[in-house]
Amino acid sequence: MMLQASGAVPTSAKDLIVNAGLETHIVLVILIVLSLVSWTIMFAVGRQLSKSLKLATGFARDVERASRLAAAGEAAKHATPNAAQRVLIRALHFVGDDARPRNADSFAEERTSAFSPTAAASRVETLRLVLDAEALSERDRLGRFLPWLATIGSASPLIGLLGTVLGIITSFLGIATRGSGNLAAVAPGVAAALVATAAALAVAIPATFGYNILANRLNRLDNLLEGFGTTVIAMLVREGRV
């Protein structure tokens, strides 16, 4: 549908949007929905990541200051639940499972084999894999909506371009039907179609910035948990728990 010929020349973006064709209106509605989704994700995930990073950083510092693993365990009991706390609890559960009751013969055999460097390295590597899996679980939980943000940032310009192309095609078809091809007849319809591209960029740019900022925070948390896992393993090795 070509820009409505009401006799008045559109003088603002509002006039263009109001008088634009159906295809442009549909695209604009889609873009508005995508914009609301992207801003909701940015605010919700950003707040959650900031809180998680702050709590995990504080807890990791408390554990690093603890002289013994028992003190770190006590700190975990009284701390606000956070990603680093869950990594420590997972390590303590691993040690507890490894220290389950055994009969005298098997205990003596395992105690003898415990002095083997290969066996010790194997236990440390197993614990490292367990803690990495826990850290990956935290990353997946906190970053589960980020792919939506990346998709909105990359797909919005294409949706806007589709609306623009359809609007221009409809505008030219209307001009061909009326038999008028001067610039004054073409310009309003083309301008109305280009509104879809402008709206798409207004959606895509914040979504792309938001994705990069939140992905950076998620990587910082991931690096923190990796370093914290190394600290916990070193503490366990120092106390002879693995």
pLDDT of 100 reads: 43
CA–CA gap between residue 81 and residue 154 (Å, rounded): 35
What is the rounded average pLDDT of the residues 187-196?
Answer: 76
210 or 236, higher pLDDT:
210
CA–CA gap between residue 230 and residue 188 (Å, rounded): 64
170 or 220, higher pLDDT:
220
Q: Which of 195, 150, 214, 165 is nearest to 31 (CA)?
A: 195
Could you tell me the two tokens for 36?
Answer: 């609301």
Give yes or no for a contact between 21 and 190, defined as CB atoms under 8 angstroms apart: no
Q: What is the largest CA-CA distance in the chain?
A: 100
140 or 172, higher pLDDT:
140
Q: Which of 58-67, 87-96, 169-178 has the lowest mean pLDDT?
A: 169-178
Q: Quick check: 193 pLDDT over 50?
A: yes
Q: How big, in percent rounded to 5, are the helix, strand and coil portions of the chain?
A: 85, 0, 15
Give yes or no for a contact between 194 and 25, defined as CB atoms under 8 angstroms apart: no
Q: Quick check: 34 pLDDT over 90?
A: yes
End-to-end CA distance of the chain, in Å? 73
pLDDT of 110 reads: 47
User: Which pLDDT band, with edges at 50, 70 and 90, does 19 fall under?
Assistant: low
pLDDT of 107 reads: 40
Mean pLDDT, all residues of the chain: 82
User: Which pLDDT band, with edges at 50, 70 and 90, does 166 fall under?
Assistant: confident
Q: Quick check: 3 pLDDT over 50?
A: no
Segment 133-163, tens digit of pLDDT: 999 999 999 999 999 999 999 999 999 999 8
Q: Which of 23-32, 35-44, 149-158 has the lowest mean pLDDT?
A: 23-32
How far CA 227 is from CA of 61, 180, 220, in Å, comes to 11, 70, 11
pLDDT of 74 reads: 86
Q: Quick check: 175 pLDDT over 60?
A: yes
Look-up of token digits 């910082």:
220
pLDDT of 131 reads: 92
Q: Which of 17, 14, 13 is nearest to 167 (CA)?
A: 17
